[in-house]
Amino acid sequence: ELARCGSGGIMWALFAGISIGLPPILHFGSEELKRKVGPPCLRGDKFICLAITEPWAGSDVANIRTTAKREGDFYIVNGAKKWITNGIWSDYFTVAVRTGGKGAKGISLLLVEKTMPGVKCRHMKCMGVWPSGTTYITFEDVKVPACNIIGKEGEGFRQIMYNFNHERWSLVCQSNRLARVCFEEAFKYAMKRKTFGKRLIDHQMIRFKLAEMVRQIDATHSWTENVTYQLQTMKKKEQNLKLGGTIALLKAQSSKVFEYCAREAAQIFGGASYVRGGVGEKIERMYREVRAYAIPGGSEEILEDFAVRQAARVAKKQAKL
């Protein structure tokens, strides 16, 4: 519903950080961490974000380089995180760090506070979702209490994966609603804009564009309803086994539909969609925001590959049975 405003940036500013940064603490953190971070974040007194992506590791989570070395009752954190949503105004960072060897088994999650010496944040100016507070964060010999570890050492990768289905589902809901906003704006504009003595809606090619847009939007919405029902009725373990690949494909589908609709809406608006302001303002903004849905949460290419690999693993296992 919030996506009706036609601004991904507004939604990301309000909910992106807390929706992915807080769940790891609520699911896996100690009671002390839950009491410290949960209530103030849920009240809106404090802000939190998830810091996983690095300049050299995006979808390839298992190869992050930020380190946390144990020294007595503290971890010493060094490294950098990039494209961190809400980071610039967050009080807490749920940070993926390397506490062990190479690969997924060496990753842990650690709660870092912005006030800790050695933490520096720089706002990044991006193509779209401007209000989201995208941030470049550096950690230089940051001394973090060992009690800020989320769960146990070496369990970070599993904890990160635990929330991926929900994060991707959320992006699906947003992007498909934004695609519908593109359609709605284009339809309303076509009903009143006149060219060559008649309304745009009276041109066959424009009607074709609108039909193609809503055909893809409604198909994606139906698929989303189907997956949402399964998320509500399956237990978490079953979701991860059966829905990971499906949600990955749905996320790729939704961002591609959003991109298609943003382009077609821009074509219907013509030059009005190329201006920041005026009747095509929403279309201009949403066109810039497409990449924010096609890449974060797993790029389209990574997700489609993941879905097929997961299906192959399940098929191989069933064949043995």
- Chain segment 173-214, per-residue pLDDT in tens: 999 999 999 999 999 999 999 999 999 999 999 999 999 999
Quote the pLDDT of residue 236: 85
**Phi and psi for 123 in degrees, rounded to 5?**
-70, 135
Quote the pLDDT of residue 59: 78
CA Rg value for the chain:
22
Give the DSSP letter string of 150-211.
Answer: ESSTT-HHHHHHHTHHHHHHHHHHHHHHHHHHHHHHHHHHHHH-EETTEEGGGSHHHHHHHH
How many C-beta neighbours within 10 Å does residue 246 have?
18
Quote the pLDDT of residue 76: 98
Name the pairing type of β-strands 198-199 and 119-123.
unpaired
Question: Alpha-carbon torsion 78, 116, 25, 13, what sign?
Answer: negative
Catalytic residues: 167
DSSP state of 49: E
Side chain identity at 174, as an amino acid letter? Answer: Q
Quote the pLDDT of residue 1: 87
Quote the pLDDT of residue 321: 61
Given a contact cutoff of 8 angstroms between Cβ atoms, the answer to whether 205 and 198 are in contact is no
pTM for the model stands at: 0.92
Quote the pLDDT of residue 318: 79
Given a contact cutoff of 8 angstroms between Cβ atoms, the answer to whether 272 and 263 are in contact is no
- How far, rounded to the nearest angstrom, does the alpha carbon of residue 69 sit from its chain's CA centroid? 29
Q: Rounded to an integer, what distance in angstroms lies between the CA atom of residue 268 and that of residue 31? A: 54
Nearest to 167 by CA among 18, 20, 321, 2: 20
Ranges of residues in the chain with a pLDDT under 70 are 321
> Both ends of the chain: CA-CA distance in Å?
45
Q: Rounded to an integer, what distance in angstroms lies between the CA atom of residue 91 and that of residue 48? A: 6
Helix (H) or strand (E) holding 112: strand 107-113
